[in-house]
Structure 1
């Protein structure tokens, strides 16, 4: 017996609920990649939304083996952030659908400030991204359902900065050093999906390529520090610098199916190749071509120390249609933290809920929220390829709360 009694708003509510839960994933993940709009059965669809995330990571028992600045040994590390998204989909024929969207897949913001014992490791670090993509699909009949082939590309811009307290030896002074970097690159995506509309069944597998940001360029600002050439010729000035980095490739499997009249089950598994981001060496632009810009390569002047491992995110949930206007869904998300001995991105468990309201056939409003637990752990200095990482700073952290709110508007015509 067919159990497809779902409104469009209900079927797509699950995506908003899952996004609210996965917005706290590890690495530099923010909104990630999403092509769910492509599956909407209306010919023209406009969608916009925002997720507001409130992480609450507090660092405790901070120690600096290198004799840092002193100060409080506990500090709030994280900042709240918003993740916007805008997309538009067109059904050109019964078989061909295309969408274009703007999103912010990557980002991060820690801001413990200068008044803590680990200020020489981090005062403030922020990463931003802008992603512009176009994706199309072609579907055809296959057995009891439809098989869909998906392909597209995207252009990505990434920028950010890091500030640290630089303490000179022999009492020569201290000051804030600031590193600014920006880069851009292209990526592509490919995937497949199989749908049986009669049972609200869909399974999709989508791969998003890595994005080579090329020669990431920027400046190292040490102008707050006194000029002491014998110690460091870069002191007291702003120096053009460069680095090399790639954003990760991502593979995601999603499934949903009707399980009873007005009931839907859904789930997803996502892998992100964050392990390619270890320590990113930064070198003066004037040395480009003289030697390889690597940690300990002879020309590096600083580095962005991440030491991530691959990220895994698993989401599962159920949804229910109450009537033709109101639907609801609940989901549970587990994310394997990308930090493993260095950094504070540990595993998280997040419960997400959401409702969909359709005041008319063409307008849908969705509201979702999530409350999660960030597990405890500790971070210690380490060694990478024979080079010390972590500025001698160690700390621990307990189980912390994460909260997120999401709202979106979808218009079909």
Structure 2
């Protein structure tokens, strides 16, 4: 569902050796990830810095050879569009509270998905799914001298809202009938990490853990031709993650950088949806007698590995290029297979306190097949549709502005 996250350019913050790193980080992460989590602004050496950026992602995933339940041809078409274009915004501000203590607040949209194949042979599984999120975070750090550099301890909290809808075909004869599930939820999370920096050589190593966000208040409405019904969802969580980032100056004007990220997407298998009030009859879980439908994801854990080179041409211009690999979270059900992405970007600094950034990326989403997958609890997802997909392209553009004092 989600096909690419494209970050703007990150300055290395080392001007004494003319090493300004411009690190565009296009990371197509699987699962429901869009913007993910980003605290790079916290490391800006300025007493105050603010930035805003937006990314427009254009995945070109195509379904083919689609069949309905039991391998039947429903006569609705064997091909469909497997992804929709989307925007990913982010805005943040960082301030040096006192010497050695920095704090940052930011708004982002870490999770999301939008697939709208319409009326096709797989319509019993999905006509349209649209999931969105809002994340409000506060993160602080304390740094102290350690050896040749500085050791930084990082901590923060974030409040997250996740919401969306799914439409699917519930009857074809005697008339076409569809059902729609609208759901919303929210929860809190926290982060903790550590970093070590040697500004003179633009060296930075950081390791940050972001906690799960428990969604134990999922509720909404199921709408069918009979009318709306109040529903609630099985308790679940958005995933925790760990990310290791490294960067270092390697020659005058040159910076190397890379990252490894793990996301616990295997948390999300099948989320049961039950009618309000059914709690007095039975608990809501996959296979429960009160379950009316479910949101099937059947993910495995996600891994993203990235590496690149940045170069500063002069005081105004710098650029970077990067190659990323993301292990798809789908493994037999869904279309999130491995993705390879090549990205590049430039940063223009007309004044020392203003930076304008523009980046782009192109990637290949590898081919595969979606069918029946049986989970650890014996539940079989994918019985309502099967389809193939080839090697498809994804492109993205990103722009950003940073102002600091």
Pick from 108, 131, 138 the counterpart of residue 134 of structure 1: 138
User: In structure 2, what is the equivalent of residue 409 of structure 1?
Assistant: 401
SS in 2 for 1:340: coil
1:210 match: 212
* TM-superposed deviation, 1:298: 0.9
- Paired with 1:321 and 1:127, the residues of 2 have a C-alpha distance of 39
2:231 corresponds, among 241, 264, 277, to 241
Q: CA deviation at 1:63?
A: 1.6
Give the CA deviation at 1:4: 5.2
Residue 124 of structure 2, aligned match among 113, 120, 123: 120
Report the counterpart of residue 60 of structure 1 in structure 2. Answer: 64
Root-mean-square deviation over aligned CA pairs = 1.4
Give the alignment partner of residue 326 of structure 1, picking from 287, 312, 317. 317
Which residue of structure 1 aligns with residue 18 of structure 2?
Answer: 6
Deviation at 1:304, TM superposition (A): 0.3
Could you list the per-position Cα deviations for residues 307-361 of structure 1 after superposition, in whole angstroms to 9, with x for gaps in the alignment?
Answer: 0000000110000000000000000010000000000000000001010000011
Are 2:371 and 2:383, in contact at CA under 8 Å, matched by a contact in 1?
A: no
CA contact (8 A) 1:3 1:260 kept: no
Alpha-carbon distance between aligned partners in 1 of 2:179 and 2:18, rounded to the nearest angstrom: 56
CA–CA distance in structure 1, aligned partners of residues 399 and 151 of structure 2 = 31
Aligned partner of residue 288 in structure 1, secondary structure:
helix
Normalising by structure 2, we get a TM-score of 0.93
Corresponding residue of 1:346: 337
- Where do 1:319-398 residues align within 5 Å? 319-384=310-375, 385-398=377-390
* Partner SS state of residue 106, structure 1: coil
Please show how residues 80-91 of structure 1 align to structure 2 within 5 Å: 80-91=85-96
Question: Is 1:358–1:364's contact at 8 Å kept on the other side of the alignment?
Answer: yes
Aligned residue pairs, count = 389
Q: Which residue of 1 aligns with 2:5?
A: none
After superposition, where does 1:155-234 map in structure 2 within 5 Å? 155-167=159-171, 171-223=173-225
CA distance in 1, matches of 2:157, 2:217: 21
Asked if residue 44 in structure 1 is aligned to residue 48 in structure 2, the reply is: yes
User: Corresponding residue for 2:250?
Assistant: 259
Partner residue in 2 for 1:75: 80
Matched, 1:111 2:123: no
1:400 to 378, 387, 392: 392
1:221-269 Cα distance to aligned partner (Å, 9 max, x none): 012xxxxxxxxxxxx1211011122100011000000000000000000
Distance 2:15 2:161 in 1: 44
2:10 alignment partner in structure 1: none
Q: CA deviation at 1:51?
A: 0.8
> Per-residue CA shift, 1:267-289, capped at 9, x if unaligned?
00000000000000000111124
Does the 8 Å CA contact 2:67/2:74 hold for their aligned counterparts?
Answer: no
TM-score normalized by structure 1?
Answer: 0.92
Q: By how many angstroms is 1:392 displaced?
A: 3.1
The residue that corresponds to 1:301 in the other structure is: 292
Q: Residues 3 and 261 of structure 1 are in contact (CA less than 8 Å); yes or no, is this contact kept in structure 2?
A: no
User: How far 1:172 sits from its partner (Å)?
Assistant: 4.8
| Cα gap change, 1:346 to 1:253, in 2 (>3 Å) | same
Contact 1:354 1:369 in 2 (8 A): yes
Cα 1:400/1:206, change in 2 over 3 Å: same
Q: What is the distance in 2 between the residues matched to 1:325 and 1:155?
A: 37
**Counterparts of 1:160 and 1:354, CA distance in 2:** 33
Asked whether the 8 Å contact 1:68–1:120 carries over to 2, the reply is no
**In 2: Cα distance, 1:172 partner to 1:284 partner:** 26
**Structure 2 CA distance for aligned equivalents of residues 183 and 405 of structure 1:** 30
Secondary structure of the 2:200 match is helix
TM-superposed deviation, 1:370? 0.6
**Aligned CA distance change for structure 1 residues 289 and 314 (closer, same or farther; 3 Å):** farther
| 1:143 correspondence with 2:143 | no
Gaps of 5+ in 1: 224-235
Q: Shift of residue 383 of structure 1?
A: 3.1
